[in-house]
Amino acid sequence: KNLVQIPKEFQSRAVPYAKLISKLEQVKAITNNTPLTLAEKILYSHLCDPEESLTSSNLHDIRGLEYLKLNPDRVAMQDASAQMAMLQFMTTGLPQTSVPASIHCDHLIVGKDGESKDLPSSITTNKEVFDFLQSCADKYGIQFWGPGSGIIHQIVLENFSLPGLMMLGTDSHTPNAGGLGSIAIGVGGADAVDALTGTPWELKAPKILGVKLTGKLHDWTSPKDVITKLAGVLTVRGGTGYIVEYFGEGVESLSCTGMATICNMGAEIGATTSTFPYQEAHGRYLKATGRGILADAAEAALNNYNFLKADQGAQYDKVVEINLSELEPHVNGPFTPDLSTPISEFGSKTLKENWPQKISAGLIGSCTNSSYQDMSRAVHLVNQASKAGLKPRIPFFVTPGSEQIRATLERDGIIKTFKDNGATVLANACGPCIGQWDRQDVPKTSKETNSIFTSFNRNFRARNDGNRNTMNFLTSPEMVTAMIYSGDAQFNPITDSIKLDDGSDFKFVPPQGLELPEDGFLLGRKEFYPPVDPTPDSSVEIKVSPTSDRLQLLEPFKPWSGEELKTNVLMKVEGKCTTDHISAAGVWLKYKGHLENISYNTLIGAQNKETGEVNKAYDFDGTAYGIPELMMKWKQDKIPWTVVAEHNYGEGSAREHAALSPKFLGGQIILVKSFARIHETNLKKQGVLPLTFAEEADYDRISSGDALETLSLVDMVAKDGANGGELDVKITKPSGESFTIKAKHTMSKDQIAFFKAGSAINHIGETSRA
Ligand code: F3S
């Protein structure tokens, strides 16, 4: 009662508010009406069984400690990660997915000359993979968004994300959907298979980080600056173990798409996800994207049941405050998204740090920043420059996030203005954001550093053009656009002028744009839209050629032997080791569906602590190998191995190949100072044992070639992990000298079951057969 009846055509896209609210009432009863944050309300209303998960009436006692078993509402997968998710789903033998799901072909599309050339050639190159994904979608009743239809997160925002929704996505920027009030979490394919098979999905109860926004965005400042500033404050590890929840009157000055930009880049601070309470901007966006009835449903849940916003008195574990009225545009980078510099200090910093003075390219769009508001503000600057007779001084690329946004921008003359002013408009796909930039002006192997300005979200080495010496500075689309007219790192568009040919000075006025298109959104080319509710078709045959180099059916990993693990340290990694270092993207993306072939990228970006070399590891006799080559050799020689590393190992993305490949190559233990959450979970899902040093200084006592064996694993497994704890690990040097250290683990009972079975998928298969 007091909730909106949802018509049939919207039912698979609606949030089951009645069910969630009744679960929440159960939660309230257990917790004696403890005030809840918004994130807790959404998360706990998706618990399979509140009685089982909420072991204490004090929710603070479970944050960061207990595992929650959850039933997500939906799954979204991008083409690179969907291959492995589907290969794993196939091994379960189920006829269809348990929840609505979608596949999006976006990562495999190259960015070079523009959509008309890049899209057909990318479709040809990746035909086998797209056909495989389409046949899986047809067989299991999954929505298939083909190449050119758009980027996963933009399509999810336009079609699926909703206030109160809980979804999983096989991409680390899945939290983008939090801009529309969802709890959307980036996971690997094995986690997606949990949701797709109706298996409870486990998450350690997150802590809640409140970000209070005061004041109002103004002039040059954009939503991007909220998150680039926050990344500077919290660093790439600051959000680990937290859901970030925004509140405060400053939220009211944000558009829905602006909130999505902020949530998208919550991944850059390591947060589990980010979300916003229901706003009028959400209602406006839902109506503009043809979902007015779902806006009414959300408003009824908010107004009648106080759902979709935090309770009065809800407690955050930490609060950060940002005053939007004082916020300045920021530029983050190079090589890490938390190196944050206000634009007023950027020029002097480039001199101090000896960064290039010439900017070599500007790129806007992607899943992070291709909204109507972003593009209309950017084009406002282009129009000003064009009127003054200015032309871009450096290459300029625009990536629309979806066919809907592209078609709308085209109708409103924005695409034409970009093109008339020298921009290359790329396909509606990831392109340069994921290393698929076929860059013509700077060779991949160039030893000279060059700087690019992008409105993307991630800037690890080689991320965009495959060149380790390209410095990617992340900033708002407005800043990138202004910068292409100067190309000079010293230029601050807010205060500085550009000399025109006639000697006069040109100065930009602050950008202006529209939150939403005045004439509504245009869907664009119909062929890009799949049916809303696809029916599974068991007669569809999924073909994988045994000679394919792109796709390979999965062989289940062997179960645990039941004994202590006896391994050798293959290599000690120094410093930052992101999922890009562990499982490089770029050219390797094409092998995502072929575990053996892609495994030859394992840790090729990692630096050897003992020699300072990248992608070099040494066999017992001192022979040098590439890291994956030595792993393969040890696999063949039946020598199980451990890799030792430093902080935030696996930072960056949900890339499950960063866990699958080490397991495939014979890795049994990853021992580090700390893990990024998604990667740690991915390792557990593949049956690799993730351990952290109890004493960080022990990192220095271990060398490659040392024997490393667990002493109390059997006992730990017998106790079902006891929800985390310590293990004794014995290190033996080649000289025979040995010592024992303590290592911590965070294995839950279910994760112990995965470990025993050899992988989570093996366990799901065993359970569904039983
Ligand atoms: Fe694609 Fe880059 Fe977004 S890879 S999903 S556009 S972060």
In the chain, the largest separation of any two C-alpha atoms, in whole Å, equals 81
Ligand 1 center–CA 657 separation, angstroms: 17
752 near 685, Cβ under 8 Å? no
As a whole number of angstroms, the distance between CA 646 and CA 426 comes to 38
Considering the candidates 380, 594, 655, 745, report the single residue annotated as catalytic.
655
Ligand 1 center–CA 261 separation, angstroms: 12
704 near 606, Cβ under 8 Å? no
pLDDT of amino acid 202: 87
Residue 584 has pLDDT above 70, yes or no: yes
Work out the pLDDT band at 64, boundaries 50, 70, 90.
confident
Q: Say whether 750 is catalytic.
A: no
Ligand 1 center–CA 560 separation, angstroms: 36
Ligand 1: does its nearest atom lie under 6 Å from the Cβ of 366? yes
- In the chain, pLDDT over 90 holds for what percent of residues? 90
pLDDT of amino acid 61: 83
pLDDT tens per residue, range 401-459: 999 999 999 999 999 999 999 999 999 999 999 989 999 999 999 999 999 999 999 99
Considering the candidates 653, 661, 674, 704, report the single residue annotated as catalytic.
653
Stretch 715-725: mean pLDDT: 85
Domains of the chain: 8-207+282-312 (3.30.499.10), 329-437+445-506 (3.30.499.10), 566-769 (3.20.19.10)
Of the listed ranges 178-187, 195-204, 619-628, the least confidently predicted one is: 195-204
pLDDT of amino acid 165: 98
Residue 367 has pLDDT above 80, yes or no: yes
As a whole number of angstroms, the distance between CA 111 and CA 465 comes to 10
Stretch 328-350: mean pLDDT: 98
Stretch 577-597: mean pLDDT: 92
As a whole number of angstroms, the distance between CA 446 and CA 467 comes to 7
Stretch 742-759: mean pLDDT: 94
Stretch 297-301: mean pLDDT: 98
pLDDT of amino acid 162: 98
Stretch 59-78: mean pLDDT: 91
Work out the pLDDT band at 56, boundaries 50, 70, 90.
confident
Spell out the residues 6+ positions from residue 500 whose beta carbon is closer than 8 angstroms to its own: 388, 389, 390, 506
Stretch 716-723: mean pLDDT: 85
State the amino acid at position 158 in one-letter form: E
As a whole number of angstroms, the distance between CA 68 and CA 62 comes to 9
Q: Say whether 745 is catalytic.
A: no
Identify the H or E element spanning 239: none
What's the whole-number average pLDDT of the chain? 95
Ligand 1: does its nearest atom lie under 6 Å from the Cβ of 654? no
Considering the candidates 118, 171, 706, 750, report the single residue annotated as catalytic.
171
Judging by DSSP bridges, how do beta strands 166-169 and 359-365 pair with one another? unpaired
pLDDT of amino acid 188: 84
Ligand 1: does its nearest atom lie under 6 Å from the Cβ of 426? no
pLDDT of amino acid 462: 87
Ligand 1: does its nearest atom lie under 6 Å from the Cβ of 171? yes
Of the listed ranges 9-23, 34-48, 61-75, 264-278, the least confidently predicted one is: 61-75
Q: Is 397 exposed, middle or buried (0-12, 13-18, 19+ CB in 10 A)?
A: buried
SS3 of residue 590 by DSSP: helix
- Atom number in ligand 1 closest to CA 176: 3
Note the ipTM here: 0.98
Q: Say whether 338 is catalytic.
A: no
pLDDT of amino acid 769: 67
Structure tokens at 594: 């072929």
Considering the candidates 73, 79, 106, 706, report the single residue annotated as catalytic.
106
Ligand 1 center–CA 582 separation, angstroms: 18
How many alpha carbons lie under 13 Å from residue 394 in its C-beta half-sphere? 22
- In the chain, pLDDT over 70 holds for what percent of residues? 99
Ligand 1: does its nearest atom lie under 6 Å from the Cβ of 363? no
Ligand 1: does its nearest atom lie under 6 Å from the Cβ of 427? no
Judging by DSSP bridges, how do beta strands 498-499 and 505-506 pair with one another? antiparallel
CB neighbour burial string for 737-755, b if at least 16 within 10 angstroms, e if fewer? eeeebebebbbbebbbbbb
Work out the pLDDT band at 515, boundaries 50, 70, 90.
very high
- Atom number in ligand 1 closest to CA 78: 5
**Higher pLDDT residue, 710 or 64?**
710
pLDDT of amino acid 723: 61
As a whole number of angstroms, the distance between CA 433 and CA 755 comes to 34
Work out the pLDDT band at 590, boundaries 50, 70, 90.
confident
Strand partners, 554: none
As a whole number of angstroms, the distance between CA 763 and CA 428 comes to 38
Ligand 1: does its nearest atom lie under 6 Å from the Cβ of 173? yes
Ligand 1: does its nearest atom lie under 6 Å from the Cβ of 151? yes
Q: Say whether 282 is catalytic.
A: no
pLDDT tens per residue, range 681-718: 899 999 999 999 999 999 999 999 999 999 999 999 99
Stretch 107-136: mean pLDDT: 96
Ligand 1: does its nearest atom lie under 6 Å from the Cβ of 152? yes
SS3 of residue 398 by DSSP: strand
Q: Is 760 exposed, middle or buried (0-12, 13-18, 19+ CB in 10 A)?
A: buried
Provide the whole-model pTM. 0.89
Ligand 1 center–CA 202 separation, angstroms: 25
Q: Say whether 655 is catalytic.
A: yes
**Higher pLDDT residue, 3 or 586?**
3
As a whole number of angstroms, the distance between CA 14 and CA 160 comes to 8
Structure tokens at 273: 């996800």
Nearest-CA residue for atom 3 of ligand 1: 367
